[in-house]
Amino acid sequence: MSADRIHYTLPSITELEIRYVEDAIRHGWGERCYEYIQRFEAAFAKHLGVPYAIATSSCTGALHMGMAALGIAAGDEVILADTNWIASAAPITYLGAKPVFVDVLPDSWCLDPARVEAAITPATKAILAVHLYGNLCNMDALLDIGARHGIPVIEDAAEALGSSLRGAAAGAMGAFGTFSFHGTKTLTTGEGGMFITQDRALYERVLTLSNHGRAAGQARQFWPDLLGFKYKMSNLQAAVGCAQVERLDELIAAKRRVFMAYRERLADLPLTMNPEGAEQRNGFWMPTIVVDEGVRFDREALLAAFRADRIDGRVFFWPLSQLPMFTPRPENRVAYGLPARALNLPSYHDLGEAQIERVVAHVRSAIR
């Protein structure tokens, strides 16, 4: 047994982040209380090539406000993939709307466009495209479906910072996009998120909602124009974000290096990993293996071997429709068949070659 623990993910924090946070602690009050927030929003928007960004306390909050700004309400339906984390579905329910879970593609583990179109009803008010583990949804097909049916496509790019299609960043192609800066993500502020859009009117609605419903031009103090939310990011968190954005190309490159190392060493095994199409770039937030159907594989045994060697592993997301608060959808056969054959591998930025070899040795032993 090795004494060195291999975490499944860790943030990359340098003296730059520490210096900015110290400045925010010492000086980021009074008139300067939004300084790092505004700076972070501007830098993030510039990096993604969009005009508007709003820093939030979480990706969940960004989704909630964006959906509210689109007018999604009780009785409406939002179509999304069954393979997802609950944070994608929860904001739909906050608004009284219904999440409609459809099956995923076997290669990207993201929304199956054919299943999306088949699920559209008069109550459908949005399609939520979640770019799982950095893998891009088929945005060409989804945007075409949305345009033909008059339905907005929303992008949950919480896990896809660094992913792009023909140069267009994940999150920047739909009506709006959202990102997560949880401590596990490529860019982190500890907790936090971002709302982005190219639609000025939508941006202004979300900006008002994000400030308890107080419009930016409202002259009367403490006068909200409507009922809004409180999903703001703090100036201290944004200070970390400013430093992380300055290092973002480096952080994405580190994630891609780790993934490529795994892919090279596991290429001969009967499994697939996160795809990257000819016109795509994958940020490879979370390297994932999916063992081929029919191959003998015991996921729990591999996780036990990891634990014995002080290695962290993560299970694949369960189908949301399997959770007790939703109705089962076993007809989503791909989504239901993935978890037992899949596993997320450790992937933090500074993962070294010797540590990668340790992980790979266990995977190879489990898949003979």
pLDDT tens by residue, 222-244: 999 999 999 999 999 999 999 99
What is the domain-level CATH number for residue 84? 3.40.640.10
pLDDT confidence of 1, banded at 50, 70, 90? very low
Percentage of residues in the chain having pLDDT higher than 90: 97
State which residues form the domain around 344.
Answer: 249-366
Q: Does one domain contain both 186 and 292?
A: no
Indicate whether 7 belongs to any domain.
no
Q: Does one domain contain both 238 and 256?
A: no
3-class SS at 2?
A: coil
Q: Which of 135, 136, 153 is nearest to 144 (CA)?
A: 153
Q: Which of 215, 243, 211, 244 is nearest to 228 (CA)?
A: 211
Token code pair at residue 355: 């540590």
**Number of structural domains in the chain:** 2
Indicate whether 267 belongs to any domain.
yes
Q: Does one domain contain both 335 and 321?
A: yes
pLDDT for residue 286 is more than 90: yes
Q: Strands 77-81 and 124-130: what pairing? A: parallel
Q: Does one domain contain both 237 and 289?
A: no
1-10, 110-119, 237-246, 314-323, range with the lowest pLDDT: 1-10
Q: Does one domain contain both 128 and 20?
A: yes
Q: Does one domain contain both 61 and 157?
A: yes
pLDDT digits over 267-279, tens only? 999 999 999 998 9
Type of residue at 344? N
Tell me 325's DSSP state. T
Higher pLDDT pick, 2 / 108: 108
Q: Which of 145, 135, 82 is nearest to 113 (CA)?
A: 145
pLDDT digits over 47-80, tens only? 999 999 999 999 999 999 999 999 999 999 999 9
Indicate whether 197 belongs to any domain.
yes
Tell me 174's DSSP state. S
Residue 3: its pLDDT value, please? Answer: 58
- Are the C-beta atoms of 138 and 113 separated by less than 8 Å? yes
Q: Does one domain contain both 181 and 308?
A: no
Q: Does one domain contain both 234 and 284?
A: no
Indicate whether 9 belongs to any domain.
no
pLDDT digits over 326-347, tens only? 999 999 999 999 999 999 999 9
Q: Does one domain contain both 215 and 282?
A: no
Q: Does one domain contain both 280 and 313?
A: yes
How many Å apart are CA 219 and CA 214, to the nearest integer?
A: 10
